[in-house]
Amino acid sequence: MLSASCAIMRRAAMLAVAMLLFAVPANAHVGSPNVFYEGDAGPYHLFVTVNVPAVIPGVADVQIRADSNDVRQVSTAVTRLAGAGSQYAPVPDVANRSPIDPHLFTSSLWLMEYGSMRVLINVAGARGSAQMSVPVPSAARRMLPMPPALGALLLTLAIGLALGAISIVGGAAREARLAPGAFVTPELKRRGWRAMALMSVITAAIFYLAFAWWNSDARSYAAVTKLFKPPKLALTLVDGNRLAIRPSPDDKDWLRFGVMDTIVPDHGHLMHLFLVRMPALDRIWHLHPARQPDGSFVDTLPSVEPGHYTVFADIVGQTGFPWTLVGSIDLPAINGTPLSGDDSGGQALPLTSSSNSSLDVLNDGTHVIWQRASSTLKANAPTILRFEVQDQNGKPATDVEPYMGMAAHAEIVSSDLQVFAHIHPSGSVPMAALMMVSSNSSDSMAGMNMSDMNMNPGANAAPISPELSIPYGFPTPGHYRIFLQFKRANKIETVYFDTLVN
């Protein structure tokens, strides 16, 4: 029985580890799981950071920083972003005000299910009460192997419980009705052994049924988790200048559930495609392929320099859950078509280990300054990336226009490609999710200027502030390149900045 119990417990430990191994990355961005969001809850300007847990269920840490001194209380709750239950938030938890920084409030929330969630933030202060909703993609994102010490402890406890139960039943059958001081007869001993044998069979059956349930639950968990893991991109160059994009055919579940058939427009496009030339990170293309009748996407490429390109494809599902699909392709020199609409491209010097910059000057003399803080950037520290666009004379530009409904777009790429994030002045949340929040509640659309939401590239948009701010937090130490894209005088511009994060 001891060897059987050991085998059972080894299997339990293996199943537990296997279940945790299914917790693979599943985010809107690559290697950048946390949510950053800046905007207004009524009269209060807030900067919200949601540290998404590594596994689901798990605890999300929420940080809310208020700009003003008149915020008295902040409370938080979590619901689904849309659908059943989205209108019924639980009793909110009161956030803790920092004793060091009175502008900072923190709270912890359980994310209990996969999918598109929203953190509901209630603010009370001198100017009344207000609400804000922050969309959060909830999905497991990394492996958490069982610690060896914990596995050994569980194995020891299980063996002890099994042997204890068997011996207790044997002792009861052998001696329960024995008079005090009486000797155990051979018949009573045989009765005890029979009871122990029967209890061993029952214990084995209990373990078998428990593991059958565990296996079923693990398969269900794996299927759900796999569905939230984006497949690799299958990329093919057709007719010399047309790039065909589709999910890898190896991912049967993704294809079976037709995820690509239910995506919704984000910033006016079903897909945002980014091509980054490696290893120098000296070229980037931001394109918007068209969906084909067979469900694939195709983009007629502009004139592209030859090289090895890593490709990132941003899409948003009908529930507001975002994915970034990743692939790579070697491209020859392509004599393509001129850029049009919202498509854009940019070039930069090769990224080196010593690259560091806070100024980029375009060919027409436009200056873009990254107003960096004097302190060194730290990993996992929320910050506001602030930029200013200046004209040829060094004065604030007066002709900056919205670009796809936002003051700017930024792509943050680490030198090792372990991090890719497509973010905006409202933060890392897709516009499609923000609009779903707006249509499903009366909350503020944080960071969104509704006058800038015209997605018609030919529309005459009013100029906006040349000062651009984007909330973000670099997830890991390393070297990063920031591509910043904005629109000036009806022309899309791309500048770049390099930085080291400690």
Per-residue H/E/C for 95-136? CEECCCCCCEEEEEEEECCCEEEEEEEEEEECCEEEEEEEEE
Q: Mean pLDDT highest for which of 83-97, 220-234, 428-442?
A: 83-97
pLDDT category at 461 given cuts 50, 70, 90 is: low
Same domain, 262 and 299: yes
* pLDDT value for 223: 73
pLDDT number for residue 407 = 94
Residue pair 407/400 in contact (Cβ under 8 Å)? The answer is yes
**C-beta atoms surrounding 388 within 10 Å:** 16
CATH number at residue 455: 2.60.40.1930
Co-location of 319 and 256 in the same domain: yes
Across residues 414-422, what is the average pLDDT?
94
30 in a domain, yes or no?
A: no
For residue 412, how many C-alpha atoms fall within 13 Å in the half-sphere facing its CB? Answer: 25
Q: In this predicted structure, what is the pLDDT of residue 46?
A: 96
Instruction: Give the whole-angstrom CA distance, residue 8 versus residue 129.
Output: 56
Tell me if 435 sits within 8 A of 320, measured CB to CB: no
Stretch 376-393: mean pLDDT: 93
Give a yes or no: residue 29 inside a domain.
no
- The answer to whether the pTM exceeds 0.85 is no
| β strands within 376-434, DSSP E | 383-390, 400-401, 409-414, 420-423
Which structural domain, as residue segments, surrounds residue 6? Answer: 2-23+143-227
Number of domain units in the chain: 4
166 and 111 assigned to the same domain: no
Do residues 16 and 152 both lie within one domain? Answer: yes
Q: Is residue 181 part of a domain?
A: yes
Predicted confidence band of residue 421 (pLDDT cuts 50, 70, 90): very high
Q: Are 356 and 481 in contact (CB under 8 A)?
A: no
Does residue 443 have a pLDDT over 70? no
265 CB neighbour count, 10 Å cutoff: 14
Mean pLDDT of the chain: 86
pLDDT of 130 reads: 95
Return the pLDDT at 24.
38
Residue 28's pLDDT is: 58
CATH number where 68 lies: 2.60.40.10
Same domain? 237 vs 295: yes
Are both 472 and 461 inside the same structural domain? yes
Domain match, 212 and 166 both: yes
- Which band of pLDDT confidence, cut at 50, 70 and 90, is reported for residue 5? very low
User: Is the same domain home to 272 and 355?
Assistant: no
> Per the structure block, which two tokens stand in for 324?
């970034």
Does some domain include residue 261? yes
Beta bridge partners of 496: 483
Which of 82, 111, 138 terminates a domain? The answer is 138
> Both 152 and 202 in a single domain?
yes
pLDDT at 27 over 70: no
Residue at which a domain ends, from 300, 330, 347: 347
Q: How far apart are CA 25 and CA 31, in angstroms?
A: 8
Q: Which residue has the higher pLDDT, 373 or 244?
A: 244
Instruction: Look at 438 and 317; give whichever has higher pLDDT.
Output: 317
* Cα 336 to Cα 339: distance, rounded to the nearest angstrom: 9
Indicate whether 28 belongs to any domain. Answer: no
For residue 297, give both structure tokens.
């996407």
Return the structure tokens found at 494.
């791309």
Domain boundary among 138, 171, 202: 138
Tell me: do 471 and 424 sit in the same domain.
Answer: yes
